[in-house]
Structure 1
Amino acid sequence: MLSTLILSGLLALNPFAAPQPRAPFVAPPAVAASLEPCRLYGSVYLERDPNRRGFCFGAVYEEPEEAFADVLVFPESNKLFADKPGLWYFTETRDFADYVLFVSPNRGLADFSISYTKVRSFAGCRKQ
């Protein structure tokens, strides 16, 4: 009885088998993909808390002048009309947003810069 208990314990621990190789870490597709600001549209939540920067899709700088911004943004009042680049519907909660962007106070730390426009037809990427 004791010998079967010891034998089953040794088989369970299996000290003679080689250790299993570990799988390498694979980043999720959202992190591995590059950020293209000209493709952002829909509902957007702007995060201003620096502690939550790691949970954001990208970093953005709010440019005061339209001439230096990468993207001109028109804030839509209805989510259904935010269907082209530069047309953003700003949500109150991050859970209902398509994109969560961190607002950086430093332009050098941001992925791209935005400026707000009052004319809907001006929204979109700047021609480069």
Structure 2
Amino acid sequence: MLAELLVSGLLALNPFATPAPRVPFVAAPLTSLEPCRIYGTIYLERDPRRRGFCFGVIYEEPEEGFADVMVFAEDNKLFADKPGLWYFTEARDFADYVLFVSNQRGMADFSVHYTKVRSFAGCRKQ
């Protein structure tokens, strides 16, 4: 019985196996959010407690010239099929994208400006 205890202890410690090499923790860079790929049904979250559950962070730009995306609010979600054409929904669960609206421009992934003309909607050329 003592021999079985020693053998099981030896197997638990496993002195013959080489330890796994230590890999330093390196934070992987986050992939950048491409605002030109966002279209469809959008839900705008304004509660800062739910920011971690959002796809991205936007800033509502008051000036047209500084916005990354010109957004036209569609009345029918079937017509929101190109970048910049967004259908806003009140139901978070039915949205294609949930975006958090920040009041600080530096904390946002991209900025949007709302337009009343459908043909102006889209991404800004960079």
TM-score where L is the length of structure 1: 0.76
What is the match of residue 57 of structure 1? 55
Between the aligned residues of both structures, percent identity stands at 81
Give the Å deviation of 1:35.
1.1
Is 1:90 the counterpart of 2:91? The answer is: no
Aligned residue-pair number: 125
Matches within 5 A, 1:24-35: 33-35=31-33
Q: Distance in 1 between matches of 2:42 and 2:68?
A: 17
CA distance in 1, matches of 2:83, 2:102: 21
Q: Distance in 1 between matches of 2:35 and 2:43?
A: 15
Q: Which amino acid aligns with 2:106?
A: G
Deviation at 1:34, TM superposition (A): 3.2
Partner in structure 1 of residue 35 of structure 2: 37
- Residue 109 (1) aligns with residue 113 (2): no
Deviation, 1:93, is 1.2
Corresponding residue SS for 2:112: strand
Q: Report the Cα distance in structure 2 between the residues aligned to 1:117 and 1:48, rounded to whole angstroms.
A: 21
Deviations 1:45-84 (A, max 9, x none): 0000000000000000000111110000000000000000
Q: Structure 2 CA distance, aligned partners of 1:45 and 1:55? A: 12
Structure 1 unmatched ranges of 5 or more: 1-31
Instruction: Name the CA distance, whole Å, in 2 between partners of 1:98 and 1:83.
Output: 12
CA deviation profile, 1:2-25 (whole Å, cap 9, x unmatched): xxxxxxxxxxxxxxxxxxxxxxxx
Alpha-carbon distance in 1 for matches of 2:91, 2:111: 22
Instruction: Report the RMSD for the aligned CA atoms in angstroms.
Output: 2.8
Q: Which amino acid aligns with 2:79?
A: F
Q: What does residue 80 of structure 1 align with?
A: 78
TM-score (norm 2): 0.77
Say which SS state the counterpart of residue 71 (structure 2) adopts: strand
4+ residue runs over 4 A deviation? none
1:68 is matched with which residue? Answer: 66
